[in-house]
Structure formats: C-alpha cells, structure tokens
C-alpha cells in the first residue's frame, strides 16, 4: 500500500512554536525520511471560515503567512504538495456525502469540538459549518487516501471520527476509502505545548503564542514574562517543574548540546529540574537559558522565512501548482466514491436504465 500523508493548518494566524513542535517539525522529518510516496499539506481556509465567517480578510491574509511558515520550517515543495483547501471543491462534495454517515450526537461527544465550542462562546448558537468541521476533515484526509496524519494530540478525536466514517462508508458501499493513523510527535512534551500564560494549549485563538516569525527581542520578552510556578516565590523556595510551561518548553526544545553551550554547570535537563525542585534556582536563570535555546532553534527558521518573503511570486506559484495537483487527486477519489455509491449516473448509463428499476 502506498504511504501517503495529509496534514494541514488553519490560516487564522501565523504559525507558532506549538505548531512547530506538535506537527511541523515532524512533517519535515517524515518528508525527508523517504518513507512516504506522497505528502499533501493543506492550508485549511474553508475550515478557518467556519468560525471566522465575518472575517474572511483575516483568513485570506494568513494564507501567505502560513505558506511562508511552512517553507521557513523546511517543507520542500519538490517533496510535499502544498495546497489551498477552498481550491478543491471536491472536498466539499465528499463532506456532503459523509455527513449522512455521522449523527449529531456523535459530533457533540467529540471532546475537541466540545472544548472549541466553549472556547469560542458558541454554546448558545453554533454555526452549522463549524459543527461539521470534523466531517470535512475526514473528507480532506480520505480524498488523498492518506495513511498517516502527523498532528498534535488535540487531533486524536478527529482522526477517530475520520476512521469511523471510513469504516461506515466501506461497510455500506464497499471497500473504497483508506483508514488513516495519527502520527504524534516522538517527544511527549510536544503533544500539546502550553501557552506562555500557562493555559493548556498554545493557540492562535488564545493569544498566548510565540510565533515562528517573532523577532529576537519579542521572543525574549515573551519568555521573560512567561507564567511559571506560582508557589516558587523566592529563589530558595522549592519549585514545581510539572505543569510549569518553562520546563515543558525546555523538554520540547533543549538537548544536551544546549547545556554545553549555554548552561555548562548542568549536564542535562534532569539535573536542572532537580535543582529547581529542591530550591535555590531562580526563574530568571531558567528563562534566560530557555531564551538562548529557543533563539538558537528559531533563528534559522526566521532567516529562511525572510528569504522566502523576497520571493512571493514563487510562493504564489507553489500554491497554484500544488492546488492543481491536489485537485486532480481529490477528483479521482470523488469519482471512486460516487462509483461505489452508484450515483455516477452519467458515467454508467445502466444505473438509470429500465433493468435497474427492479
């Protein structure tokens, strides 16, 4: 079986370090592993409109920003097909057929949808399109016969829902669609990177992000004002490293080389944590170290982004070519789907002939 990746992001803002460790870094690794036959990376503008219907300008403006972030992180358009969701109307048609395979109560039980409804104050009135986005995500994934979806932990319920749709479709209409698996980051700290404010998830919608394109001084001031352990008041106090975002970020970003370069008094993160937990290590020292580590990791990305910013017509072309390619693939799957459902009336005249009336 072909190994195919489909993954993507909503163009609701520039991408942040949560995206980077939760999904982007993994995508680049998988892209360069040579293990995948095809890789599709979708800029999910149609999905972004489900909760930004009144602000299409924001979504439109962020399409280029997300594309630049991809290229900056090392997504290679020669190896990965980057495309724009709304350029592929076939995805909407697939969604429409899949909607019949899912109940309202099933979507209501989806924990990610539940928390996102709450976060957006949609409890009283949920846009139907937003409510259905897990179904449209199943369409995006299956349109490319994706076997793997590299994503953060918040996407697990979405993948489960997609797998259910695939099973149900294949059960009713015959083996047609492919069941996808989620690929979570290898490092647990990257499953769901917390916000700089200590909230459970760094998210564009919560405004608690360090962006990949932030300038060095902005990164520094965000790190220096990060939430830490509120019980660690004086340097001598014993501190908590669990649930302390500064340490979660260190888990996500730092390696022993960073200790050699910036913190030679400690061999590794375990030693640093032990000191913080027994007391005597100040937040400022730890934050300064985190700043050094993150500046080092993000510098290359920012520089590469600046280079691509000078080549916007090329980026436009990458998106255009990618969208055309993705459209061909999705149209093919849609044909297969309609064939299995026996609704491809004008491809197969027998479907509407007299004999079929019985």
Q: How far is the CB of 288 from ligand ATP (least distance, A)?
A: 23
Q: How far is the CB of 160 from ligand ATP (least distance, A)?
A: 14
Structure tokens of 38?
């095809």
Where does 279-357 have alpha helices with state H?
283-309, 312-340
Among 59, 166, 184, 202, binds ligand ATP (CB under 6 A): 202
List residues bridging with 40 in a β-sheet. 6, 81
- The C-alpha atoms of residue 250 and residue 254 are separated, in whole angstroms, by 5
155 binds ligand ATP (CB under 6 A): yes
Nearest residue to 137 via CA among 94, 83, 175, 176: 94
Residue number with CB closer to ligand ATP (192 or 302): 192
226 binds ligand ATP (CB under 6 A): no
Q: How far is the CB of 87 from ligand ATP (least distance, A)?
A: 18
Using CB under 6 A as the binding criterion, the count of chain residues that bind ligand ATP stands at: 18
162 binds ligand ATP (CB under 6 A): no
Q: Tell me if 45 sits within 8 A of 9, measured CB to CB.
A: no
203 binds ligand ATP (CB under 6 A): yes
Residue number with CB closer to ligand ATP (183 or 334): 183
Torsion of CA 296, 302, 303, 307, to 10 degrees: 170
Q: How distant, in Å, are the alpha carbons of 96, 111, 120, 134, 174 from that of 116? A: 22, 9, 6, 12, 34
192 binds ligand ATP (CB under 6 A): yes
Q: Where are the beta strands (DSSP E) in 109-259?
A: 148-150, 181-183
45 binds ligand ATP (CB under 6 A): no
Site for ligand ATP in 125-154 (CB under 6 A): 151-152, 154
182 binds ligand ATP (CB under 6 A): no
For ligand ATP, the binding residues (CB under 6 A) are 9-10, 12, 18-19, 22-23, 151-152, 154-155, 192-193, 201-205
């Amino acid at each position: 079986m072909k190994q195919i990746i489909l993954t993507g992001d909503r163009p609701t803002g520039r991408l942040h370090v949560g995206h980077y460790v939760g999904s982007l870094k993994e995508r680049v690794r998988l892209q360069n592993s040579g293990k995948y036959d095809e890789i599709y990376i979708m800029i999910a503008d149609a999905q972004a409109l489900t909760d930004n219907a009144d602000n299409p300008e924001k979504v439109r403006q962020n399409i280029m920003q997300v594309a630049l972030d991809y290229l900056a992180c090392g997504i290679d358009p020669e190896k990965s097909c980057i495309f724009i969701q709304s350029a592929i109307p076939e995805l909407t048609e697939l969604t429409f057929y899949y909607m019949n395979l899912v109940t309202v109560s099933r979507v209501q039980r989806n924990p990610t949808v539940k928390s996102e409804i709450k976060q957006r104050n949609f409890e009283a009135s949920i846009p139907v399109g937003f409510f259905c986005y897990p179904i449209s995500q199943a369409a995006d994934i299956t349109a490319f016969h994706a076997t793997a979806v590299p994503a953060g932990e918040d996407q697990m319920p979405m993948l489960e829902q997609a797998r259910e749709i695939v099973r149900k479709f294949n059960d009713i209409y015959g083996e047609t669609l492919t069941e996808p698996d989620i690929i979570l980051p290898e490092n647990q700290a990257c499953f769901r990177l917390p916000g700089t404010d200590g909230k459970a998830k760094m998210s564009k919608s919560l405004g608690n992000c360090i962006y990949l394109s932030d300038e060095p001084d902005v990164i520094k001031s965000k790190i220096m004002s990060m939430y830490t352990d509120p019980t660690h008041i004086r340097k001598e106090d014993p501190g908590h490293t669990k649930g302390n975002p500064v340490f979660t970020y260190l888990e996500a970003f730092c390696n022993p080389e960073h200790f050699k370069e910036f913190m030679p008094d400690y061999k590794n993160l375990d030693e640093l944590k032990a000191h913080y937990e027994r007391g005597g290590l100040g937040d400022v020292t730890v934050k300064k170290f985190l700043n050094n580590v993150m500046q080092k990791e993000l510098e290359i990305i920012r520089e590469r982004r600046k280079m691509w910013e000078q080549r916007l017509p090329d980026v436009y072309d990458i998106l255009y070519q990618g969208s055309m390619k993705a459209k061909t693939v999705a149209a093919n799957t849609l044909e297969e789907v309609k064939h299995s459902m026996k609704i491809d009336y004008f491809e197969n005249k027998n479907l509407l002939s007299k004999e079929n009336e019985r």
